[in-house]
Amino acid sequence: MPLEKICQEVERRQSEFVERLRDAVTIPSVSADKKHREDVFKMIDWAEKKLTALGVKCKQVENGTQKLLDGSTIRLPPVLFGTLGEDKNKKTLLVYGHLDVQPAQKSDGWNTEPFELTETDGKLFGRGSSDDKGPVIAWINAIEVLQALKVEIPVNIKFVLEGMEESGSEGLDEVLLKNKETFLHDVDATCISDNYWLGKNKPCLTYGLRGVCYYAIEVSSPKQDLHSGIYGGTLHEPLNSLIHVMSRLSDVNGKIKIEGLEKLVALLTDAEKELYKSIDFDLKEYSNDIGCKKLVSESPQDILMNRWRYPALSLHGIEGAFHSPGAKTVIPSKVIGKFSIRIVPNMEPDAVSKLVISHVEKEWAKLGSHCDMKVKALQGGQPWVADFNNNLYSAGARALEKVYGVKPDYTREGGSIPVTLTFQEMTKKPVMLLPIGACDDMAHSQNEKLDIKNYIKGTQVLAQFLLELSQL
């Protein structure tokens, strides 16, 4: 079967595939918000139905319960396992993806309703369009097209689709560990499509990710919010103490002030430095896309290294303080500061958390605040870096080159998909990231989108990639 026929068939069914994505985006499967937990379950059922229609044998694997910060306990969404083909003469590819999404509200600054897929200028706007419903559905589309064209897929395919990725993949590692000797035992390679190109025009294969450690600093004192006129000036105010301690995590340039953290970072070798020189990365376009006049460096290599191989600390916000428009004269009684650190080899989340917690406690002690303070690690995921000299990556590279007519870049990513490392460790086989989305897809942000071109060509790439795996 020549690629041309596959491409034609994918293009012929374009509007059907867009409708399929629209259907999925409608389900607000926000894993971080307990109000939407039922929607995550609904989204898992939705995917099971689609896979079953392709002949995939599905199983929803129970994932226990989650204890929330407010003390309540709710059920975790099951992990969806699927098996397509059990031919002992074929190799087995594992496909991972996630069906949950980041929170989104129109009032956050979206131009359209986040849970209604909206097509504008060849872009499909909607929460999850690119992260990660679009890529998961592209796998479904690709297999459907190969089946419709009666092309034999040269590998068995297994699926692991989860609903908690945007909340630290809670429970997934345990589920995988329990199934290491059964469901996972015959996996020969893993492919994940849950990241982005470095730019907007050239595809890439990704061999490294940063990990992430997420923290909450809770500061409290009076038993309830107070009127700042009546009480202001008589007590240590929790938000004041919190902001002081949050200001001591990193400086304005992003330099992390946590003692000992720098020593955990792998040293930059000359060979590694060399790798960065050949990468096609337009710094001007990068800063224009995000609307940032000035970056922390003017060297493309520095910026790539800061995204890929150095840690970064971001403050995300404060829970419990006044956050609406207008003026409210309140002394909030309990405030929770949230921040995270993207981690890189050789930083281990446990070691990082130990340093972070000790730093926060030391700074807290220096402050001398009368308020109560607790600092907690909410989630931690390890970084991942792989060797890309193997048949898995060359199959991916061939598929990309055939569809796009250009050799892909080999990239790393600043974002985190902790399960990548889990698959590598449990299967002892290579893992590859094959993104279909562009750098400006704005995952986690307002106006997340997937270009129709990327969705359609991505579907073609995944179909071709499955065929290239005959050489796995």
| CB nearer to a copy of itself: pick between 188 and 440 | 440
Ranges within 398-437 binding a copy of itself (CB under 8 A): 413-416
Catalytic annotation present for 441: no
| Residue 312 within binding range of a copy of itself, rule CB under 8 A | yes
Q: Would you state the structure tokens that stand for residue 360, as one six-digit string?
A: 């926060």
| CB nearer to a copy of itself: pick between 1 and 265 | 265
| Residue 73 within binding range of a copy of itself, rule CB under 8 A | no
| CB nearer to a copy of itself: pick between 6 and 386 | 386
For tokens 């006129």, name the residue. 229
- The response to whether 127 counts as a known ligand-binding position is no
**Minimum distance from residue 270 beta carbon to a copy of itself (Å):** 22
For tokens 């790439």, name the residue. 461
DSSP-based three-state secondary structure for 20 = helix
Q: Interface mask (CB under 8 A) for a copy of itself, residues 336-375, using x and -?
A: --x-x-x------------------------xxxx-----
**Minimum distance from residue 40 beta carbon to a copy of itself (Å):** 13
DSSP letters, 430-445, are -EEE---B-TTS-TTS
Strand order in the sheet with 312-319: 312-319, 334-343, 211-220, 372-381
Ranges within 114-153 binding a copy of itself (CB under 8 A): none
The angle that helices 14-25 and 3-12 make with each other, rounded to 10 degrees, is: 60
**Minimum distance from residue 382 beta carbon to a copy of itself (Å):** 14
Identify the residue among 56, 80, 246, 400 touching a copy of itself (CB under 8 A). 246
| CB nearer to a copy of itself: pick between 222 and 345 | 222
| Residue 222 within binding range of a copy of itself, rule CB under 8 A | yes
User: Running DSSP on this structure, what letter comes out for residue 326?
Assistant: S
Report the sign of the C-alpha dihedral through residues 67, 70, 74, 77, in that order: negative
- List alpha helices for 278-314, DSSP H: 283-290, 300-308
Ranges within 20-59 binding a copy of itself (CB under 8 A): 32-33
**Minimum distance from residue 223 beta carbon to a copy of itself (Å):** 3
**Minimum distance from residue 444 beta carbon to a copy of itself (Å):** 4
Distance CA 204, CA 437 (A): 10
User: Beta strand pairing status for 189-192 and 431-433?
Assistant: parallel
Binding range to a copy of itself, per CB under 8 A, among 44-52, 152-160, 231-239, 418-426: 231-239
φ/ψ of residue 368, rounded to 5? 75, 30
| Residue 284 within binding range of a copy of itself, rule CB under 8 A | no
Identify the residue among 26, 92, 102, 427 touching a copy of itself (CB under 8 A). 102
What is the total count of residues that contact a copy of itself (CB under 8 A)?
A: 100
3-state secondary structure 45-76: HHHHHHHHHCCCEEEEECCCEEECCCCCEEEC
Distance CA 399, CA 390 (A): 15
Distance CA 430, CA 388 (A): 8
Binding range to a copy of itself, per CB under 8 A, among 113-121, 173-181, 329-337, 384-392: 329-337
Binding range to a copy of itself, per CB under 8 A, among 151-159, 212-220, 421-429, 456-464: 212-220
Contacts of 265 (CB under 8 A, 6+ apart): 310, 311, 344, 345, 346, 347
DSSP letters, 67-126, are E-TTS-EEEPPPEEEEEE---TTS-EEEEEEE--B----GGGT-SS-TTS-EEETTEEES
Distance CA 414, CA 194 (A): 13
| Residue 83 within binding range of a copy of itself, rule CB under 8 A | no
**Minimum distance from residue 322 beta carbon to a copy of itself (Å):** 3
Distance CA 113, CA 129 (A): 13
- The response to whether 289 counts as a known ligand-binding position is no
Catalytic annotation present for 100: yes
Among candidate residues 165, 218, 237, 440, the one labeled active-site is 165
Among candidate residues 39, 100, 188, 413, the one labeled active-site is 100
| CB nearer to a copy of itself: pick between 44 and 217 | 217
**Minimum distance from residue 157 beta carbon to a copy of itself (Å):** 28
Binding residues for substrate, by number, are: 194, 227, 329, 342, 416, 444
Binding residues for Mn(2+), by number, are: 98, 131, 166, 194, 444
Catalogue the active-site residues: 100, 165
